[in-house]
A and B are shown apart, each in its own frame.
Chain A
Amino acid sequence: DVKVTQSSRYLVKRTGEKVFLECVQDMDHENMFWYRQDPGLGLRLIYFSYDVKMKEKGDIPEGYSVSREKKERFSLILESASTNQTSMYLCASSLFTGIKYFGPGTRLTVT
């Protein structure tokens, strides 16, 4: 069974901490994505990557960075966590148009 896995389901961090969210896919997909999900706002694209070491900003990249050193792994980094980054973070991967596979999500709380 194909999968996108995320390192944590729940995470609590303090303001100012550096936070790493990890995502791994086992489908050999070129494309990987990070979204955040907030009530009433749906999913908003933070960053995506279409190849190893390649990345593009999404709609809300401010305060985030990403790393893709291996094809199967895509990391989201919060350099200095703030309370407005409390959210559900979803990773996804795809081969062709249309994201078919999402991870279970990481619910991050920044206090």
Chain B
Amino acid sequence: AQSVTQPDIHITVSEGASLELRCNYSYGATPYLFWYVQSPGQGLQLLLKYFSGDTLVQGIKGFEAEFKRSQSSFNLRKPSVHWSDAAEYFCAVGAQAAGNKLTFGGGTRVLVKP
């Protein structure tokens, strides 16, 4: 069965500093990988996705993620954090065969210090 682990429950970062959120997945074949963001009081928004090809994926809001098959990881990064990036971030993995079913990690809550 597929699974996703986000090791960091909370991360605090200063505004303007870089951010990296960790995501490790378990899946027997090539996965589809996703990052979502949930701002306070808002629904989930898709930041980026990886299906195949270039392992460095660019997303919205200045985020990027790198797929590393050897480490079963799909870490999310942003070079310079803005106060509006304070939110909860979810990594998810989908099975290619099953298409649309996604398994989510437990989430990482990001706090941004001024």
Contacts and interface: CB of A to CB of B under 8 A. Distances in A.
Interface of A: 4, 31, 33, 35, 40-45, 48, 50, 58-59, 90, 92, 94, 96-100, 102-105
Interface in B65-114: 90, 92, 94, 96, 99-107
A50 B43 contact: no
Contact of A94 (B43, B92, B100, B106): B100
Given A40-B106, A97-B94, A98-B94, A45 B101 contact: yes
B43 A98 contact: no
B9 to A, nearest CB: 7
B106 A41 contact: yes
A71 B103 CA distance: 24
B104 A97 contact: no
A104 B43 CA distance: 5
A102 B43 CA distance: 6
A99 to B, nearest CB: 6
Contacts of B51: 97
A48 B100 CA distance: 9
B43 A58 contact: no
A99 B102 contact: yes
Q: Which one of A40, A43, A103 has the highest number of Cβ atoms from chain B below 10 Å of its Cβ?
A: A43
A104 B42 contact: yes
Contacts of A50: 100
Given A97-B94, A103-B43, A45 B9 contact: no
B44 interface: yes
Contacts of B46: 98-100
